[in-house]
């Protein structure tokens, strides 16, 4: 069906989406990041908007334009993404975490570019853990309906099922990477308390629309 003819499943609701990678500075010219084009998250934001939701997209650095009608908040580091999400989450009934958040950041950020020095070997960079945004939102006293994503490189079913339980979220979307990075299509599997089943494969926007329908059905069943 063409999106315009679909019923407005999310009318009157706010959907908060994280997307893209985060960038963790080492110094003014260097940093650590994760692989993510942001395409899946932007497709999810667009699909939620098509379904009638007010959509806030908290995005790390990507090359993508904001989807039409979507409010984008641009961030760089995981800590900035965490802060932006915590500012926005009170208004949201649904939180969809597609971002590839860097798990660690350099323990100290150098104010000046670090120079190579003759005779010195490569530097060692001490890391510290970033906050887990999805787990923090799921642990709020009145959390929105939380949906996580997991890109695994092996044992998808095992890792994704465990991750859903560990983060305490009702729904987790698994995709088998890393060959999906930057591509327009994807293969997704849904994990919930009852087990797992395929959502489908193909174009990321088509999958995003299916996911939004799936979330709407779950909200309805839960009387939310
Ligand atoms: N996530 C998050 N904040 C983090 C790390 C992850 O919000 N600091 C979210 C991601 O956006 C995704 C889900 O948690 O929706 C799973 O991310 P993933 O990196 O697969 O899980 P981790 O718990 O970090 O486990 P690992 O990287 O060790 O597989
Ligand atoms: Ca991670």
Q: Closest residue (by CA) to atom 25 of ligand 1?
A: 163
Ligand whose nearest atom lies closest to the CA of 36: 1
Using DSSP, state whether 143 is helix, strand or coil: coil
pLDDT digits (tens, 9 = 90+) for 96-117: 999 999 999 999 999 999 999 8
Q: How far is the CA of 12 from the centre of ligand 2 (A)?
A: 32
Task: Specify the pLDDT at position 9.
Answer: 87
Mean pLDDT of 200-212: 94
Choose the residue to mutate in 19, 34, 77, 99 for probing ligand 1, maximizing ligand atoms within 8 Å of C-beta: 99
Q: Six-digit token pair at 10?
A: 């999310």
pLDDT bin (cut points 50, 70, 90) of residue 12 is very high
Residue 186 pLDDT > 90, yes or no? no
Residue 162 pLDDT > 80, yes or no? yes
What mean pLDDT value characterizes the chain? Answer: 93
Q: Which distant-in-sequence residues (6+ apart) come within 8 Å of 114 by Cβ?
A: 26, 27, 30, 123
Q: How far is the CA of 103 from the centre of ligand 1 (A)?
A: 7
Looking from the CA of 109 toward its CB, the CA atoms found within 13 Å total 13
∠ CA 85-104-156 to the nearest 5 degrees?
85
> Is there a catalytic annotation at residue 34?
yes
Choose the residue to mutate in 19, 81, 132, 159 for probing ligand 1, maximizing ligand atoms within 8 Å of C-beta: 132
Task: Specify the pLDDT at position 8.
Answer: 84
Residue 44 pLDDT > 60, yes or no? yes
Share of the chain above pLDDT 90, in %: 82
Q: How far apart are CA 96 and CA 16, in angstroms?
A: 6
Q: Which distant-in-sequence residues (6+ apart) come within 8 Å of 165 by Cβ?
A: none
∠ CA 23-27-32 to the nearest 5 degrees?
30
Q: Among 222, 151, 153, which residue's Cα sits nearest to residue 193?
A: 222
pLDDT bin (cut points 50, 70, 90) of residue 179 is low
Residue 22 pLDDT > 80, yes or no? yes
Q: By the 8 A CB rule, do 50 and 3 touch? A: yes
């Amino acid at each position: 069906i063409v999106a315009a003819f679909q019923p407005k499943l999310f009318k009157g609701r706010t959907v908060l989406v994280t997307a893209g990678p985060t960038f963790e500075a080492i110094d003014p010219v260097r940093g650590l990041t994760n692989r993510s084009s942001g395409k899946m998250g932007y497709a999810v934001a667009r699909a939620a908007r098509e379904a009638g939701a007010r959509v806030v997209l908290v995005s790390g650095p990507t090359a993508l334009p904001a989807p039409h009608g979507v409010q984008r908040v641009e961030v760089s580091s995981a800590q900035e993404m965490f802060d932006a999400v915590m500012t926005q989450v009170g208004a949201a009934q649904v939180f969809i975490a597609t971002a590839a958040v860097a798990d660690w950041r350099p323990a100290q950020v150098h104010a000046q570019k670090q120079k190579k020095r003759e005779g010195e070997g490569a530097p060692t960079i001490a890391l510290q853990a970033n906050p887990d945004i999805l787990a923090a939102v799921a642990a709020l006293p009145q959390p929105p309906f939380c949906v996580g994503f997991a890109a695994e490189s092996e044992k998808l079913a095992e890792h994704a099922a465990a991750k859903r339980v560990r983060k305490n979220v009702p729904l987790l979307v698994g995709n088998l990477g890393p060959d999906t990075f930057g591509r327009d299509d994807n293969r997704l599997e849904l994990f919930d308390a009852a087990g797992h089943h395929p959502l489908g494969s193909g174009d990321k926007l088509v999958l995003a629309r299916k996911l939004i329908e799936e979330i709407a059905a779950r909200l309805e069943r839960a009387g939310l």
